């Protein structure tokens, strides 16, 4: 089996590469990644010498390069993680989100049609369901809910999902889509809530909580996400969407307080800042389908996962300090000063 993993130098893609090399040592894994600000070769360092792994630097929206790679490698399965993934950046500059997330997906699927694959798997997000009200804890996202979107990021992911389904119906491309809730774990870029708060807390810097901090996210440890995708690409039904989430809802304020408590820093570091434009209130996944059809359940509970994650950031300071010492400084200044 030969699998193309796009976006494998990013957070979830890299964790998926590690997971697959471990779970299927006989598989060949090729990673295609453009190494944007979010891609990091240091992350892939541990597998660069593995003969079952190949890294290719390239853009998923570059048709010529993608077709050449498919011609060379003859993939059995394609798992598309490559994306611009940060909501706040999409509010600043939507254009690149449309190019990578929509046109990049189209180019990959055109290559799949041309060269043939057993499966094209699109790594989607629960953000395509919009949001749920805070006062209706009985409501959850199910796969049959209509697609809607609040940010340019979620609109681009929703458009990609629609295109994936259209390629299935029109061209018979064997597709699956997964829609996962918020991931956390090792190697997450420190622009996202959990690693940003860990890094700031360790440096005794203010922890910028948007709005009132009441917004709720449904947190899943990244390895549980990787295992779900492995199940879907092998056992999932073609043409189907699978939601992935583990009923682990927490308000942002709760998450930030847990981090502060675990690193032994005071809550006085919490600073309420201006809200995100169009800020989604609550995400909550109903994972019944993937549980009933594929037997998936999360294995890492939040109390363990957040401890492991904090320990990882403590033990791998050079990984994230290299990131935050570079152009990240300008990003942080632009997004957070006078907010
Ligand atoms: P990330 O930002 O950490 O990584 C994205 C990777 O894609 C980077 O390595 C980057 O270099 C690469 N990339 C960007 N543009 C590219 C292009 N044009 N060609 C090739 N590579 C390109 O993102 P992540 O958090 O790991 O998310 C991965 C996927 O999972 C995304 O599709 C995202 O929408 C989805 N997702 C993320 C979460 C989450 O909580 N992080 C939850 C559900 C779904
Ligand atoms: O739900 C899945 C999505 O989860 C993925 O599709 C996205 O790629 C991923 O980035 C994530 O999106 P969110 O916008 O939910 O994640 P983020 O870490 O940016 O923010 C989580 C919550 O924390 C959100 O309510 C905004 C808030 N927040 C975030 C940052 C960075 C703050 O209060 N302060 C911050 O500094």
CATH, domain 2-189+219-248+285-305, list 3.40.50.720, 3.40.50.970, 3.30.300.180, 1.10.3210.10 = 3.40.50.720
Q: Which pLDDT score is estimated for 338?
A: 87
Q: Which pLDDT score is estimated for 337?
A: 94
181 within ligand 2 shell (Cβ under 6 A): yes
Q: Which residues are catalytic?
A: 126-127, 153
CA distance 271 to 253: 11
Q: From the CA of 267, how far away is ligand 1's center (Å)?
A: 31
Helix (H, G, I), strand (E, B) or coil at 294: helix
The total number of residues written for the chain in this structure: 339
Q: What is the pLDDT of residues 68-92, one digit of tens each?
A: 999 999 999 999 999 999 999 999 9
**Of all protein residues, whose CA lies closest to atom 14 belonging to ligand 2?**
87
CA distance 199 to 152: 27
Q: What is the pLDDT of residues 223-262, one digit of tens each?
A: 999 999 999 999 999 999 999 999 999 999 999 999 999 9
Atom of ligand 2 nearest to the CA of 209: 33
CA distance 157 to 124: 7
160 within ligand 2 shell (Cβ under 6 A): no
- The answer to whether 101 and 160 have CB atoms below 8 angstroms apart is yes
Beta bridge partners of 167: none
Q: What is the mean pLDDT of each run of 10 residues along the chain (339 residues)?
A: 98 99 98 98 98 98 98 98 98 98 98 98 98 98 97 98 98 99 98 98 98 98 98 98 97 98 98 98 98 98 98 97 93 94
59 within ligand 2 shell (Cβ under 6 A): no
């Amino acid at each position: 089996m030969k699998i193309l993993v796009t976006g494998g130098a990013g957070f979830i893609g890299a964790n998926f590469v590690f997971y697959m090399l471990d779970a299927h040592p006989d598989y060949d894994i090729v990673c295609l990644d453009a190494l944007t600000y979010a891609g990091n070769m240091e992350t892939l360092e541990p597998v660069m010498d593995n003969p079952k792994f190949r890294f290719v630097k390239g853009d998923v929206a570059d048709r010529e390069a993608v077709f050449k790679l498919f011609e060379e490698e003859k993939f059995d399965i394609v798992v598309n993680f490559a994306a611009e993934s940060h909501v706040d950046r999409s509010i600043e500059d939507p254009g690149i989100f449309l190019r990578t997330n929509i046109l990049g997906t189209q180019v990959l699927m055109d290559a799949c049609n041309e060269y043939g694959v057993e499966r094209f798997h699109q790594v989607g997000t629960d953000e395509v369901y919009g949001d749920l009200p805070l006062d209706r804890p009985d409501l959850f996202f199910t796969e049959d809910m209509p697609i809607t979107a609040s940010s340019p990021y979620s609109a681009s992911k929703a458009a990609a999902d629609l295109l994936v389904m259209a390629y299935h119906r029109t061209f018979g491309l064997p597709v699956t889509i997964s829609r996962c809730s918020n991931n956390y774990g090792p190697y997450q870029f420190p622009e996202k809530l959990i690693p940003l708060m860990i890094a700031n807390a360790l440096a005794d810097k203010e922890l910028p909580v948007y709005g009132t901090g009441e917004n709720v996210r449904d947190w899943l440890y990244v390895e549980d996400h990787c295992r779900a995708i492995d199940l879907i690409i092998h056992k999932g039904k073609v043409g189907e969407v699978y939601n992935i989430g583990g009923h682990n809802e927490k308000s942002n304020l709760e998450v930030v307080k847990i981090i502060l408590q675990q690193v032994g820093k005071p809550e006085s570091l919490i600073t309420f800042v201006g809200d995100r434009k169009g800020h989604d209130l609550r995400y909550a996944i109903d994972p019944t389908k993937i549980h009933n059809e594929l037997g998936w359940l999360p294995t890492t509970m939040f109390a363990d996962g957040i401890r492991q994650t904090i320990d990882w950031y403590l033990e791998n300071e050079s990984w994230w300090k290299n990131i935050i010492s570079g152009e990240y400084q300008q990003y942080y200044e632009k997004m957070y000063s006078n907010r």
